[in-house]
Chain A
């Protein structure tokens, strides 16, 4: 399977003015009510060579900022939003994300949360898994993986937290089919559902790309799914399968 996003030559960095600037530079808007975390995220993404266009503290401001930026023709690549924000501190972030995705299909939305709930993920993924991410907030500690996820979502990919995937796998009614998978295939299925590309899965499991491709086609065969090209569509297929 051709991988359009990972390990392409363009993502190799070059240093400009003492700071590493990656070709994969994405424009980010951050929505997070804790000033501490907003600034931390801004610093982290800026340090990794990305541009933080704006930082806001609640969902209303987020929707407005995106509308303003869109009007100026400067829509960001991705929004990183906290689930819980003022005024009600419940699920504003998810609702704003769903709204934004409907209004701006090209915009990537990565939702961060203190707890991940499969239910929220299902709402976010309703319709399309293009350019959507849902991660546990703690994942920011793994800077490289987190920044990878931001870039992936910005480029139209998917980033689902392993915990969400575990919940989906756990509550899926297709247990009898899932038990038919080898442990390695289950592992690959999980990583696939997280939104990883074949080469990323290969790197994670320290195997060759070819081996991963073989596992993937075995999985699709066993689950009775049609092989689909494009990683995000593949994620959707897997998720739909698990959820049905």
Chain B
């Protein structure tokens, strides 16, 4: 029943407009064709560059500037590679990661830097790429040009086939060297997270000090200063006694706050006795009864232990503050090469892993060491939070 519709279409007068001009091939085919045609001029340029660079610096290795010139040529090849990656991205849709830049700024003396640039695998592979491109560029250019005129119907298939070879070359020769490069990128982002969480921790500690012990000590100093003034003025009455008494109380509170803060940073018992003992001590300070079960044959690395401790401590604080739970439990065990920590409570649930900065902070901290953080907290409870850390053996 399409005929009436098309009649209706014509009836409203749309037939006197020409259909929009269309290319016979879809856009991506044109891009491929463009790429293949461009291959020739680009390849000629690259080939000339390689020949000049290699032969000139090769000849000059007899002199002192030969090697530096070769190093410069390799750095230049990296730039050519960058252009080629951009071209492949625009016309072939191939996304290849940029290789890590050479750490020339960090590298010590000029000789070291020279050596670093000379053994740069990315530069050498780009040179190789530029060499094989010349015959390949001539081939693609001729094939496509001829096909454009005589093999119009099959050109899309020819172009696709040639472009696929191009894609493989870009992936093979212009991508960051290997697994190692990718791992470096990953580690760099992890390191960023670690630095960020460390900075956040420092800010938190500073805030705690500022609002807690420091304020208390200033107040204490003020009270004692006032009492001293009064004594100097010879007014040693009950007033002064009360002030000194108050100051005494303040000192004790300040000490308590400092102790709590120090424990929050890194509890001594964790270093001395390990996770089991340290968790018992955190659990005893929770407002709800907490059962701690630690099943660990040995102690993990200090960093892992610290993160596990901090995670439990933060979760138990949340339970104290928000959960309205009656009981809670903490379990720690090792499963092959992972350390698992699970904290449960029978509170009202509804904990949101993205909600508070505390939970997000925990997830980030665990992510930074290749760990996992899973929150299961349906409204009405119970809440089960599981953290998984890589097991690393203690070194000392």
Given contacts A44-B226, A89-B207, A143-B225, 4 further A-B contacts (CB under 8 A): A114-B214, A137-B214, A141-B222, A143-B228
Query: Quick one: CB contact mask for A128-165 with B, threshold 8 Å, 1 for yes?
Result: 00000000011011111010000000000000000000
Q: Quick check: is A84 within 8 A (CB to CB) of the other chain?
A: yes
Contact status A140-B221, CB under 8 Å: yes
Q: Are A37 and B215 in contact (CB under 8 A)?
A: yes
A126 CB → nearest B CB, Å: 26
A144 touches B214 (CB 8 A): no
A226 within 8 A of B: no
* A230 at the B interface (CB under 8 A): no
- Please report which residues of chain B, range 219-245, place their CB below 8 angstroms from some CB of chain A when the two chains form the complex: 219, 221-226, 228-229
**How many chain-B residues does the 8 Å CB contact rule pick out?**
16
10 tightest A-B CB contacts, nearest first: A141-B221, A143-B225, A40-B219, A34-B215, A141-B225, A140-B222, A40-B222, A143-B229, A36-B219, A137-B218
A37–B226 CA distance with the chains assembled, in angstroms: 14
**Is A41 an interface residue when CB atoms closer than 8 A count as contact?**
yes
- B85 CB–A CB distance under 8 Å: no
Interface contact A37-B221, CB-CB below 8 Å? no
**Interface pair A138/B221, CB less than 8 Å apart:** yes
Cβ-closest chain B residue relative to A144: B229
B window 226-270: CB within 8 A of A: 226, 228-229
B211 near A: Cβ within 8 Å? yes
Chain A residues within 8 Å of B221, by CB: 138, 140-141
Is B285 interfacial (CB-CB < 8 Å)?
no
Interface 1/0s, chain A 35-68, versus B by CB < 8 A? Answer: 0110011011001000000000000000000000
**Known contacts A142-B225, A143-B226, A37 near B210 by CB under 8 Å:** no
- By a beta-carbon cutoff of 8 Å, the part of chain A in contact with chain B is 34, 36-37, 40-41, 43-44, 47, 84, 89, 114, 137-138, 140-144, 146
Check A138/B229 contact, CB under 8 A, given A40-B223, A84-B210, A89-B207: no
Cβ-defined contact, A143 with B210, below 8 A: no
* B125 interface contact, C-beta 8 A: no
- A138 contact set on B, CB distance < 8 A: 218, 221
Kindly state the separation between the CA atoms of A1 and B320 in the bound complex, as whole angstroms. Answer: 65
A140–B210 contact, CB under 8 A?
Answer: no
Overall SS of chain B's interface? helix
Docked CA distance A203–B215 (Å): 31
Report B166-208 CB contacts with A as 1/0, cut-off 8 Å. 0000000000000000000000000000000000000000010
C-alpha gap A47/B240 in the complex (Å): 12
The answer to whether B78 has its CB under 8 Å from any CB of chain A is no
Q: Which residue of A lies closest to B225 (CB)?
A: A143
Interface of A (DSSP majority class): helix
Cα distance A36–B223 in the bound complex, in angstroms: 11
**Interchain CB contact under 8 A, B219 and A37:** yes
Which A residues are CB-close (under 8 A) to B219?
Answer: 36-37, 40
Tell me the smallest distance from the CB of A111 to a CB of chain B, in Å.
Answer: 15
A36 to B254, CA, bound (A): 13
A114 and B222: CB pair below 8 A? no
Q: Determine whether B365 belongs to the interface, using a CB cutoff of 8 Å to chain A.
A: no
Q: How far is the CA of A147 from the CA of B224 in the complex (A)?
A: 15
Q: Which residues of A contact B228 (CB under 8 A)?
A: 143
Pairwise interchain contact B207-A41, C-beta atoms closer than 8 A: no
B216: interface (CB < 8 Å): yes
Q: Give CA–CA (A141, B224) in the complex, Å.
A: 7
Can you list 20 contacts pairing A with B, beta carbon distance less than 8 Å?
A34-B215, A36-B215, A36-B216, A36-B219, A37-B215, A37-B219, A43-B226, A84-B210, A89-B207, A114-B210, A114-B214, A138-B218, A138-B221, A140-B218, A140-B221, A140-B225, A141-B221, A143-B222, A143-B225, A144-B229
How many angstroms from the CA of A140 to the CA of B223 in the assembled complex?
9
Q: Chain B residues near A36 (CB, 8 Å)?
A: 215-216, 219
State how many angstroms separate the Cβ of B211 from the closest Cβ of chain A.
Answer: 7
Looking at the assembled complex, report how far the CB atom of B234 sits from the nearest CB atom of chain A, in whole angstroms. 12
Q: B214 to chain A: which residues have CB within 8 Å?
A: 114, 137
Tell me, in angstroms, the Cα distance from A143 to B229 when the chains sit together: 7
A37 vs B210: C-alpha distance when bound (angstroms): 12
With both chains docked as a complex, state the minimum distance between the C-beta of B210 and any C-beta of chain A, in angstroms. 6
Q: A143-B228, A143-B229 are in contact. Are A34 and B211 (CB under 8 A)?
A: yes
Central interface residue in B210, B214, B219, by most chain A CB within 10 Å? B219
Tell me the minimal C-beta distance from B298 to chain A in angstroms. Answer: 43
Measured CA separation A183–B207 after assembly (Å): 39
A143 vs B228: C-alpha distance in the bound complex, in angstroms?
A: 9
Q: Which residues of B contact A144 (CB under 8 A)?
A: 229
Cβ contact within 8 Å between B210 and A41: no
Task: Judge whether A37 and B218 touch: CB under 8 Å.
Answer: yes
Cα A141 to Cα B216 with chains together (Å): 12
What 1/0 flags go to B34-58 for Cβ under 8 Å of A? Answer: 0000000000000000000000000
Task: Report the minimal beta-carbon distance from B235 to chain A, rounded to whole angstroms.
Answer: 9
- Evaluate contact between A47 and B218: CB separation under 8 angstroms: no
A184 to chain B, nearest CB (A): 28
- Kindly state the separation between the CA atoms of A146 and B223 in the bound complex, as whole angstroms: 13
Task: Quote the shortest CB–CB distance from B221 to chain A (angstroms).
Answer: 3
Residues of the A chain whose Cβ atoms lie less than 8 Å from the Cβ of B224: 141
